[in-house]
Amino acid sequence: MTKTWLITGASAGLGRIMTEKLLDRGDRVVATVRRQAALDDLRERHPAALSVLPLDVTDTPAVRRVVDQAFGEVGRIDVVVSNAGYGLFGAAEELTDAQIERQVATNLLGSIQVIRATLPHLRSQGGGRILQVSSEGGQTTYPNFSVYHATKWGIEGFVEAVAQEVTPFGIDFVIVEPGPTATSFGANIDGPEPMAAYDATPSGDIRRALASGAFVLTGDAARSVDAMIAAGDADSPALRLTLTSTAYANISKSLTLRLSALEAQKAVAASADRDAVA
């Protein structure tokens, strides 16, 4: 059975690959892009199955207008893929206020508003699925990605809570957590002027690793998209979809360390309880 998908941030990377794969298998796609010409080649190949709408997810009124337009044009949308985003790289002290605000507005607030705009439509049609693209960086951290991590940890918490709110309406979520993957993501990373004070620190180490190619990109973009599409098709997918062996290893290590630290504080945690009330 064919499906209809709404994909934000579809001009490049995982969003572009997903759009192309879905169209090739016969599905219908409404793709949002910041540059409408970015998908001209796909529109020529699939004029009846692809709708392209311009959208900057930092513009909340535009998010609501475009989402309303998408549902109005195609009727039912089975899967919403909230994919728009980018990376901000630099030590926290190095970042400018404008860079921080843009990162939060795009990755966190933009994703929140896309989800909020789609929920009334999904409720009225009796259900649907939202794939929120996060990152292994929503569960673990690297130096120089502090604000990026803040947005990804933030959107994962938001989705976990909203998923509980909308389950009665037949709406479910998949949080997609790719590891380092060979896409255009790296080429689009924003960053500040480096400070010499951070050169001989973990921040400087990871900056050099990225510049030299020592930071290995283990992920295959097309295979990652195949797994995302399978999650969109599945009857009852898991809440989280971890992609690449690197992401699996890093998230497993992070969760193990956090659980160990928590267990060591069991007595201290209990000491903060009130006395039993008779």
- The pLDDT tens digits for 164-189 are 999 999 999 999 999 987 766 556 77
Q: Is the Cβ–Cβ distance between 131 and 82 less than 8 Å?
A: yes
Residue 278 placed within a domain: no
Q: Is 148 a catalytic residue?
A: yes
pTM of the model: 0.94
Q: What is the pLDDT of residues 214-268, one digit of tens each?
A: 777 778 999 999 999 999 999 999 999 999 999 999 999 999 999 999 999 999 9
36: domain range? 4-270
If one counts the domains in the chain, the total is: 1
Q: Is 224 a catalytic residue?
A: no
Burial class (CB in 10 A: 0-12, 13-18, 19+), 129: buried
What CATH number does the domain containing 55 carry? 3.40.50.720
Residue 275 placed within a domain: no
Phi, psi torsion values for 243, nearest 5 degrees: -125, 130
Q: What is the pLDDT of residues 49-73, one digit of tens each?
A: 999 999 999 999 999 999 999 999 9
- Among 111, 146, 148, 198, the active-site one is 148
Residue 250 placed within a domain: yes
Residue 238 placed within a domain: yes
- Among 152, 198, 203, 224, the active-site one is 152
Q: Is 3 a catalytic residue?
A: no
- Among 82, 111, 134, 135, the active-site one is 134
